């Protein structure tokens, strides 16, 4: 391997000394450029720093007119310097003026210089500025000189990232690294969060950049790569990833990168050129990222994430940093940024400090989003590239209503949002004031308002929201956040705890609804082409009766002496209910045989989510004690529109005639059979759709706890019979094309109903 020649070696030694001296930022920059110029025998050396307005400003120079410092400017993409910044690639030219991008800056008097070498100042793949040397004579800069310049550029990047150069930024201007950015994404849970960024996978901060002994650093790198390769092989050989699947594919990609000789060679070269092992990893990572960030192919961009992950692992090996956000201290107003995250990982963060969650991918129905919603924090999804733009500790505002992330917001935006938060708080206050008001409509109908839950963190909301009880307890969440199948005793203790905290309010437990999009890591099933229509929920439970019987036993034991209310998800044929009832009977016999206490009362219900049940309504209603409509699934199956696919999930209106007629038929069947009926999908929690539900005859609805207040405020002002008259007329009229949504909005406006 080639070693640095004497010149660059001396330069790096001087740089090390310069960085250790207590100097003012401008003085340090001036001395750096002077040092480079003299070391490379160049007439000119200049530093340009990228400002938040996209302008590259001259920050220091040796050789050009000194009066031009902080005055000479170039736009991104303009001239040679702008081209380097835009492409994030070095330019090494023996005749700069022959280059098509050459641009003459009169204030600097640079026309007499022929040779030009410029390198981007990069951090995590982002361009922060450009470092340039120029010579009068035509010459070619050697490869090791280019490398020495890149190493110096890293030192300057560090000065920018630590805020040192901020001190010499002209008043009223900002550096690009601290630029305010607004990103349009998707709002997955409403609400506004003001706080500070916590990167779920924080970058390792490398402060020790320049090495003193290259051989020693190469040895350290080799050792770290060795352990990295071993740990990947170890992960690959574990049982849970032994089969095919996405996880394995990612690990295989890691392995491929880890054995890539090109990658290792580039890092070794960077060490030979003066960097420490960790700085070399960071440099190669940043260069690679800069190149890949400019790719549009989604597959290759995904590989960039894999590569980034791997480089971070290597950095952790070298620095001993745990890689956990929590180990870096946790602000009291944390907004967690992650590319992707599991539900359990979110629960690891202290709830009291969490102000929001931002995900680069995810879907509204992904587990982590369900859990975040249960915690009541605003969530933004599909925020592409946001993690690379944010630094730990950046101030941030997220707007779950509009689906926006405002990184490093300006003061006036912060003010506007603080006002918005105050308004929201006032509205919440008004809703809280309704907590003990009975949910009775204007025309005297008592409506049962229930809340949805699934984790212990949800329970306090029962008292806070004033809900009548829990209409849907998603038991699968306990399974989804556990690393292994919860045992009988754990399930029983959990249900007992739920019942105790519910303090006499009714709780409707839904048996396991796993499969489909609700993946339980330790319960492997085959890949399915259409998981939503696949082996899930009750289908899986009936085929694995051991699993279901354990859950039934846990539920029965936990409710000994009180009422057990439970229901089955995704029922397609009434015979499935009978099969579960038989299993339940067996469990009851088993428990009484061994002298266990039994529930005082057992209420056995079914969810109506599969359209086939529409033609078994009377059988269904006579078979069960109650029915709960899962409108999320019933809508997706009725409309053949995937609820997790943003391109089709909003295509059809849930308040359109077809779906409301379906729901009305269900109400009629329940009335006919005197079967208690509830609806527990998301539509129950939106005041406008809840209004429609009451008008077509629902008297019980279950929703996220934060919706109880707004829905109650709506129904207190609603004359149900009056709206029912108007709505039924439209639903019965096969010729009318009146929009039900418009009818509802107009009704609310005319009658002063808050939505
Ligand atoms: C539903 O489908 O409407 C429902 C409440 O169940 P989940 O959202 O858990 O599928
Ligand atoms: Mg469902």
Query: Which pLDDT belongs to residue 568?
Result: 97
Residues with CB under 6 A from ligand 1: 472, 474, 513, 609, 630-633, 680-681
| pLDDT tens, position by position, 324-339 | 777 777 899 999 999 8
Please give the number of the atom of ligand 1 that sits closest to the Cα of 609: 2
Percentage of residues in the chain having pLDDT higher than 90: 56
Higher per-residue confidence, 545 vs 259? 545
Cβ burial of 466 (10 Å; 0-12, 13-18, 19+) is: buried
| pLDDT tens, position by position, 404-438 | 999 999 889 999 999 999 988 888 888 999 999 99
Query: Which pLDDT belongs to residue 174?
Result: 83
Read out DSSP for 162-203? TTTGGGGSPTT--BGGG--EEEE-EEEE--EEEEEEEESSPP
Query: Which pLDDT belongs to residue 4?
Result: 61
Query: Which pLDDT belongs to residue 524?
Result: 64
| pLDDT tens, position by position, 107-126 | 666 567 889 999 999 987 88
Å from CA of 476 to ligand 2 middle: 12
Lowest mean pLDDT, pick from 193-197, 518-522, 604-608, 728-732:
518-522
Query: Which pLDDT belongs to residue 433?
Result: 92
The pick from 472, 518, 609 for probing ligand 1's pocket by mutation, whose C-beta has the most ligand atoms within 8 angstroms, reads 609
Cα–Cα dist 447/430, whole Å: 20
| pLDDT tens, position by position, 494-516 | 999 999 999 999 999 999 998 76
Please give the number of the atom of ligand 1 that sits closest to the Cα of 636: 2
Cα–Cα dist 89/86, whole Å: 8
Q: Which helix (H) or strand (E) holds 356?
A: strand 354-359
Nearest CA to ligand 1 atom 9: 474
For the chain, first and last CA: distance in Å? 71
Angle, to 10 degrees, between the axis of helix 277-292 and the axis of helix 143-161? 90
Query: Which pLDDT belongs to residue 693?
Result: 98
The pick from 515, 633, 666 for probing ligand 1's pocket by mutation, whose C-beta has the most ligand atoms within 8 angstroms, reads 633
Task: Let me know: does 365 contact 644? Beta carbons within 8 Å.
Answer: yes
C-alpha distances out from residue 636 to 72, 611, 657, 691, Å: 59, 10, 15, 21
| pLDDT tens, position by position, 48-73 | 999 988 899 999 999 988 999 999 88
Angle, to 10 degrees, between the axis of helix 687-695 and the axis of helix 740-750? 100
The pick from 479, 572, 627, 681 for probing ligand 1's pocket by mutation, whose C-beta has the most ligand atoms within 8 angstroms, reads 681
Query: Which pLDDT belongs to residue 124?
Result: 79
Query: Which pLDDT belongs to residue 273?
Result: 86
Q: What would the two tokens of residue 647 be?
A: 């391109």
Å from CA of 190 to ligand 1 middle: 19
Higher per-residue confidence, 324 vs 225? 225
Mean pLDDT over residues 140-148, rounded? 88
Query: Which pLDDT belongs to residue 494?
Result: 96
Please give the number of the atom of ligand 1 that sits closest to the Cα of 452: 5
Q: Are strands 601-608 and 563-568 parallel, antiparallel or unpaired?
A: parallel
Residue with tokens 């590569």: 307
| pLDDT tens, position by position, 591-610 | 999 999 999 999 999 999 99
Query: Which pLDDT belongs to residue 111?
Result: 60
**Mean pLDDT, rounded, of the chain:** 89
- Residues in CB range of 559: below 8 A, 6 or more apart: 495, 499, 599
| pLDDT tens, position by position, 653-699 | 999 999 999 999 999 999 999 999 999 998 999 999 999 999 999 99
Lowest mean pLDDT, pick from 343-357, 358-372, 588-602, 622-636:
358-372
Please give the number of the atom of ligand 1 that sits closest to the Cα of 681: 3
Q: What is the pLDDT confidence band of residue 144, given thresholds at 50, 70 and 90?
A: confident
Higher per-residue confidence, 306 vs 677? 677
Å from CA of 607 to ligand 1 middle: 9
Percentage of residues in the chain having pLDDT higher than 70: 94
The pick from 607, 611, 634, 703 for probing ligand 1's pocket by mutation, whose C-beta has the most ligand atoms within 8 angstroms, reads 607
Query: Which pLDDT belongs to residue 1?
Result: 44
Please give the number of the atom of ligand 1 that sits closest to the Cα of 628: 5
Q: Which SS3 state, helix, strand or coil, does residue 446 take?
A: strand
- Answer yes or no: pTM beyond 0.75: no
Task: Let me know: does 505 contact 453? Beta carbons within 8 Å.
Answer: no
Q: 582-592 burial by CB neighbour count: b if 16+ within 10 A, else e?
A: ebbeebbeebe
């Amino acid at each position: 391997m080639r070693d640095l020649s004497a010149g660059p070696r001396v330069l790096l030694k001087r740089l090390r000394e310069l960085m250790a001296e207590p100097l003012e930022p401008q003085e340090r920059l001036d001395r750096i450029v002077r040092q480079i110029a003299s070391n490379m025998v160049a007439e000119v050396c200049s530093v340009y720093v990228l400002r938040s307005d996209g302008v590259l400003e001259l920050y220091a120079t040796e050789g050009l007119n000194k009066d031009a410092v902080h005055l000479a400017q170039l736009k991104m993409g303009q001239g040679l310097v702008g081209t380097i910044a835009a492409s994030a690639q070095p330019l090494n030219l023996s005749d700069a003026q022959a280059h098509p991008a050459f641009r003459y800056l009169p204030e600097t008097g640079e026309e007499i210089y022929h040779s030009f070498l410029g390198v981007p100042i990069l951090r995590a793949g982002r361009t922060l500025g450009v470092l340039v040397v120029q010579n009068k004579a035509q010459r070619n800069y050697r490869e090791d000189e280019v490398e020495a310049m890149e190493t110096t550029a890293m030192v300057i990047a560090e000065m920018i990232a630590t805020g040192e150069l901020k001190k010499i930024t002209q008043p009223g201007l900002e550096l690009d690294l601290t630029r305010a950015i607004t990103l349009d994404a998707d709002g997955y849970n409403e609400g506004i969060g003001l706080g500070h960024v916590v990167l779920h996978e924080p970058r390792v901060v490398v402060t020790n950049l320049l090495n003193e002994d290259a051989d020693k650093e190469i040895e350290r790198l080799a050792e770290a790569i060795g352990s990295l390769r071993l740990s990947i092989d170890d992960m690959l050989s574990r049982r849970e990833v032994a089969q095919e699947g996405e996880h394995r594919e990612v690990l295989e990609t890691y392995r491929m990168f880890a054995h890539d000789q090109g990658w290792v060679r580039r890092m070794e070269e960077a060490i030979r050129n003066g960097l420490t092992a960790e700085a070399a990893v960071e440099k190669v990572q940043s260069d690679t990222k800069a190149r890949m960030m400019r790719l549009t192919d989604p597959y290759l961009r995904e590989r960039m994430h894999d590569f980034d992950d791997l480089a971070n692992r290597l950095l952790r090996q070298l620095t001993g940093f745990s890689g956990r956000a929590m180990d870096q201290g946790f602000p009291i107003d944390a907004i967690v940024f992650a590319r992707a995250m599991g539900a359990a990982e979110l629960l690891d963060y202290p709830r009291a400090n969490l102000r929001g969650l931002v995900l680069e991918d995810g879907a509204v129905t992904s587990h982590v989003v369900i859990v975040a919603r249960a915690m009541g924090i605003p969530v933004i999804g599909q925020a592409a590239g946001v993690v690379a733009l944010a630094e730990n500790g950046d101030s941030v505002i997220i707007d779950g209503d509009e689906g926006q992330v405002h990184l490093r917001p300006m003061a006036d935006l912060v003010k506007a949002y603080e006002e918005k938060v105050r308004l929201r708080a006032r509205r919440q206050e008004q809703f809280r004031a309704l907590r003990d008001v009975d949910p009775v409509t204007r025309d005297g109908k008592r409506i049962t308002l229930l809340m949805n839950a699934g984790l212990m963190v949800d329970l306090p909301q029962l008292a806070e929201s004033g809900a009548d009880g829990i209409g849907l307890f998603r038991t699968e969440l306990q399974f989804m956040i556990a690393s292994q199948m919860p045992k009988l005793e754990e399930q029983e203790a959990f249900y007992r705890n739920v019942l105790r905290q519910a303090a006499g309010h009714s709780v409707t437990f839904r048996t396991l609804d796993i499969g489909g999009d609700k993946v339980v890591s330790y319960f492997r099933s085959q890949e399915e082409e259409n998981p939503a229509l696949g082996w899930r929920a009750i289908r899986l439970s009936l085929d694995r009766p051991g699993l279901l019987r354990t859950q039934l036993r846990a539920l029965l034991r936990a409710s000994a002496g009180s009422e057990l209310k439970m229901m089955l998800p995704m029922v397609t044929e009434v015979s499935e209910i009978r099969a579960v009832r038989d299993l339940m009977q067996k469990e009851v016999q088993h428990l009484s045989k061994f002298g266990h206490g039994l529930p005082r009362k057992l209420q056995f219900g079914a969810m109506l989510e599969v359209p086939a049940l529409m033609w078994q309504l009377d059988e269904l209603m006579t078979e069960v004690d109650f029915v709960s409509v899962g409108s999320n699934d019933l809508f997706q199956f009725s409309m053949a529109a995937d609820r997790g696919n943003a391109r089709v999930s909003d295509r059809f209106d849930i308040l359109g005639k077809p779906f409301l007629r379906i729901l009305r038929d269900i109400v009629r069947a329940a009335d006919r059979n005197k079967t208690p009926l509830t609806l527990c999908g998301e539509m129950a929690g939106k005041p406008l759709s809840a209004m429609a539900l009451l008008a077509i005859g629902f008297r019980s609805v279950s929703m996220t706890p934060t919706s109880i207040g707004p829905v109650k405020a709506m129904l207190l002002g609603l004359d149900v019979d009056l709206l029912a008259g108007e709505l039924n007329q439209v639903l019965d009229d096969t010729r009318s094309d009146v929009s039900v949504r418009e009818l509802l909005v107009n009704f609310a406006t005319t009658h002063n109903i808050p939505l």
